[in-house]
């Protein structure tokens, strides 16, 4: 089928251990601890929730809510300031150089870049002021004056696809490439899907 002239070409990518070579939720926790050393006390609580998640004893959304308890009583504007400083330290040194070069070239050709990550939008958003893309979706949270509560579903698996479709709001688009470190739904949507392992980019064979 011929592509419509109005159809937008999109590259979708995951953030953690994909474009960013580390895990931002772990690295950001360590960074917060350099600012507020007493937050180290949350380490064992976080390990507990990680174990529950691995044993499938807790939903992904519930895991996100509890894992980020180390941000309790830190207002959004302060988290944002910490995140800005964090990403300025991490970017571009700890990002996949091959992917960044490819993304830069594709941007020049008019291809849209869209990031779909399970990370909290609260701390991810400042990254995309440093490296501008056309859209991103992360797990959304709301501060109740004490803790952060997940709004809707955690941005994982099929939710990433739903959020991407919502972003384009009925405008026709085609996912020409997708990148992730795990076998997830966004890879199944792409013409050319790629799986990352130890920073190496390998073609992914779709299940369907």
HEC string for the chain = CCCCCCCEEEEEECCECCCECCCHHHHHHHHHHHHCHHHHHHHHHHHHHHHHHHCCCCCHHHHHHHHHHHHCCCCHHHHHHHHHHHHHHHCCCCECHHHHHHHHHHHHCCCEEEEEEEEEHHHHCCHHHHCCCCEEEEECEEECCCCEEECCCCCCCHHHHHHHHHHHCCCCEEEEEEEECCCCHHHHCCCEEEEEECCEEEECCCCC
> What is the reported pLDDT for 2?
44
pLDDT digits (tens, 9 = 90+) for 42-76: 666 666 566 666 767 666 666 566 658 889 999 99
The C-alpha atoms of residue 10 and residue 190 are separated, in whole angstroms, by: 9
- For 8-203, the fitting CATH number among 3.40.50.1000, 2.60.40.10, 3.20.20.140, 3.10.20.740 is 3.40.50.1000
Question: Domain boundaries in the chain?
Answer: 8-203
Find residue 192's DSSP bridge partners. Answer: 177
201 vs 86: CA distance, rounded Å: 26
| pLDDT of the residue at 1 | 37
Q: pTM for this structure? A: 0.87
pLDDT on residue 40: 76
Task: Starting at the earlier edge strand, list the strands of the sheet with 135-139.
Answer: 135-139, 112-120, 8-13, 173-180, 192-197, 200-203
- Residue with the larger pLDDT of the pair 82 and 63: 82
Say if residue 92 is preceded by a cis peptide, omega within 30 of 0: yes
How high does pLDDT run on average in the chain? Answer: 90
Q: Which residues contact 53 (CB under 8 A, 6 or more apart)?
A: 60, 63
CB 80 within 8 A of CB 125: yes
What size, in residues, is the chain? 208
**Integer Cα distance of 115 and 100 in angstroms:** 13
Instruction: Output the pLDDT for position 195.
Output: 98
Averaged pLDDT for residues 100-123: 97
Report the candidate in 11, 8, 5, 7 with the shortest Cα–Cα distance to residue 190.
11
């Amino acid at each position: 089928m011929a592509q419509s002239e109005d159809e937008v070409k999109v590259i979708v990518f995951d953030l953690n251990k994909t474009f960013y070579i580390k895990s931002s939720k772990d690295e950001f926790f360590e960074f917060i601890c350099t600012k507020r050393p007493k937050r180290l006390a949350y380490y064992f609580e976080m390990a507990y929730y990680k174990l529950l998640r691995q044993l499938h004893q807790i939903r992904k959304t519930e895991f996100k809510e509890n894992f980020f308890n180390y941000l309790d009583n830190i207002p959004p504007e302060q988290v944002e300031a910490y995140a800005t400083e964090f990403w300025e330290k991490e970017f571009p040194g700890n990002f996949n150089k091959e992917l960044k070069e490819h993304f830069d070239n594709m941007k020049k050709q008019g291809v849209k870049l869209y990031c779909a990550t399970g990370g909290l939008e609260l701390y991810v958003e400042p990254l995309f002021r440093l490296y501008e893309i056309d859209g991103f979706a992360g797990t959304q949270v709301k501060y109740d004056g004490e803790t952060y509560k997940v709004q809707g579903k955690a941005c994982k698996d099929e939710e990433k696809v739903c959020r991407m479709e919502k972003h384009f709001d009925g405008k026709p688009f085609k996912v020409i490439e997708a990148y992730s470190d795990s076998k997830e739904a966004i890879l199944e949507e792409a013409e050319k899907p790629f799986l990352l392992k130890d920073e190496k980019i390998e073609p992914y064979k779709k299940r369907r």
